[in-house]
Every structure is written in C-alpha cells, then in structure tokens.
Amino acid sequence: MAAIELRNIVKVFSDKRRGRDLLTLDNIDLDIEANDFVCLLGPSGCGKSTLLNIIAGFEQATSGRTLVDGKQVERPGSDRGVVFQQPTLMPWLTAIDNIAFHLKLKGIAKAERNDRAMEFIDLVGLRGFEHHHPSEMSGGMNQRVGIARALLMNPSVILMDEPFAALDAQTKLEMQEELVAIWQKRRCTIVFVTHSVDEALVLGNKIVVMTKRPGRIREAVNFDLPRPRDSTSPEFNDAKRHILALIREESTRLAQAS
C-alpha cells in the first residue's frame, strides 16, 4: 500500500465574479510510496498548491479519492505535517513554543513539551534561538521552525509548498542540503512543491512533472542519483534535459493549440 494514493482527483473552482467554472486539476492519479521524497514540479497556476491542500485536507476535491495510509482524507490532521510557503508561525509564541504547539494542544505539560521540542531545535540547528519570537529571526530561521514544527508531530507524510521560494539563493541551498540530511536521517515521506527544475533535481528521488492549467501529470520521473548531488555532473544534466524537454514539449503543444 502506498503512503499516499490519489485516485482520479478533479478540482473545479467556481469563479463567481465571472460566473464560470475553472477546471484546475484534471484527473490526477498518483501513488506516493512511504519514505519517498517526491517533488511536484510545474509552472505557477498549474494547481500544485491546490493538490497539496487537498492532501492536507484544507480543500476538498470536486471528485476523486485521497487516501493517506489507506485512510480517506476528510479534514486537516496532525498525521500530515504541512510546511507553508510563508512560515505561518504564531507570532506571539517563541520558537520552542511554536515547535511544541501540537503538544500543547494535546494537553502535555510544559516541561515535557520543552524537552521534546529541544530535540527538534537541535535537529534544525536553532539552539540558542529557542526563546526568540518569529519577528526576531530571519526568514530562513523561521522556516526551520516551520519544518521542526511539522517533524515534531511525527506525521506519516510531510507536505511542503515552495517553502524556500522566499529565501535568498545561499540560504536556499543550505536549507535544501539540510532538508535532504533530515530526510535521510529520519526516513519520512515528503511531498515537496516547487516550480524550479533545479530544486526538484537537488531534492527529489521522484519528480512528478505537471502540465499547465488544467493540471495533469505529464510524467513521473524516478531520479535515484546518489547524494550529495552534484548539479554539474552529466547524470544531473541528463535528467535536467529530459525534464526541460517535457516542459518545452508541453508549451509548444499549447502554442499550436491556440
């Protein structure tokens, strides 16, 4: 059984102002295996966030079935950790309290919460900043808190929606490396949304290329290049060429159609 099973997902948004319906996801069918690091790659507006939000339970598919660990997804829950594009931390809580928020909601005592959160503070390299508020930390540090917060729940899958898009190039590279290290160490299932071919190739062992609107799956590419990956190696560039060809084919097809 796959960790995530998407069966014939269709999503239609009704555009009330213009009085018409917008087909956003067209028959998405995808299996994601446990411990996979899957990158959902596609141009902006193709429905990546919508698909992730359906898995997270924030949105309901118009039709189709979403199963996580064999269970139908109906609402958000702590079995699916989400890392948002903006860190979306509670600004009134310190880093450690943000990370331990899930435990607080479960009614666990402060001392134990702090104990357990410290492990994740260390994991994302924020020791010394545990009592800082989000407004006192950089974007990259806040996103680390966001990742730690999701990991602490020990979810069966972690869903990430372009979490590094707002970071500067250098911080982005650092965070990508650390995320891969965390994934290797903790063996979790990650679905990572990105519009960057390079990011997908650095991170994923499976790259799901989506088409422009309405979003369909163009091809799911397995990419098992050993890590750390060298983005100048021939294998890396072969894969990159293949994915770029898929995307280019797609745009010429659209150009001919219109």
Binding positions for ligand ADP, 196-215, rule CB under 6 A: 213
**What does the block give as tokens for 51?**
């698909």
Q: Of the candidates 181, 55, 53, 190, which has an alpha carbon nearest to the alpha carbon of residue 125?
A: 181
Q: Residues 144-163: x/- map of binding to other proteins (CB under 8 A)?
A: -----x---x----------
Site membership for ligand ADP, residue 184 (CB under 6 A): no
Strand partners, 193: 40, 161
Nearer Cβ to ligand ADP, position 13 or 236?
A: 13
Among 45, 91, 125, 228, binds other proteins (CB under 8 A): 91
**48-65: b (≥16 Cβ within 10 Å) or e:** bbbbbbbbbbebebbebe
Helix runs in the chain, H state only: 48-56, 95-99, 101-105, 110-123, 139-152, 169-186, 197-203, 234-257
* Contact between 94 and 114 (Cβ < 8 Å): no
Q: Compute, in degrees rounded to 10, the torsion defined by CA atoms 242, 245, 246, 252.
A: -170
Q: Kindly determine how many residues on this chain lie close enough to bind other proteins according to the rule CB under 8 A.
A: 28
From ligand ADP, Mg ion, other proteins, none, interface partner of 129 (C-beta below 5 to 8 A by class): none
Asked if omega into 214 is within 30° of 0 (cis), the reply is: yes
Among 3, 4, 24, 55, binds ligand ADP (CB under 6 A): 24
Q: How far is the CB of 90 from other proteins (least distance, A)?
A: 7
16, 92, 100, 133, 142 from 89: Cα distances, Å: 32, 9, 12, 9, 8
Q: How far is the CB of 96 from Mg ion (least distance, A)?
A: 29
Site membership for other proteins, residue 172 (CB under 8 A): no
Q: Kindly determine how many residues on this chain lie close enough to bind Mg ion according to the rule CB under 5 A.
A: 1
Among 28, 46, 49, 180, binds Mg ion (CB under 5 A): 49
Nearer Cβ to other proteins, position 153 or 197?
A: 153
Q: Please tell me what DSSP assigns to residue 211.
A: P
Among 30, 32, 38, 46, binds ligand ADP (CB under 6 A): 46
Nearer Cβ to other proteins, position 88 or 237?
A: 88
Site membership for other proteins, residue 13 (CB under 8 A): no
- Where does this chain bind ligand ADP (CB under 6 A)? 13, 22, 24, 42, 44-50, 213
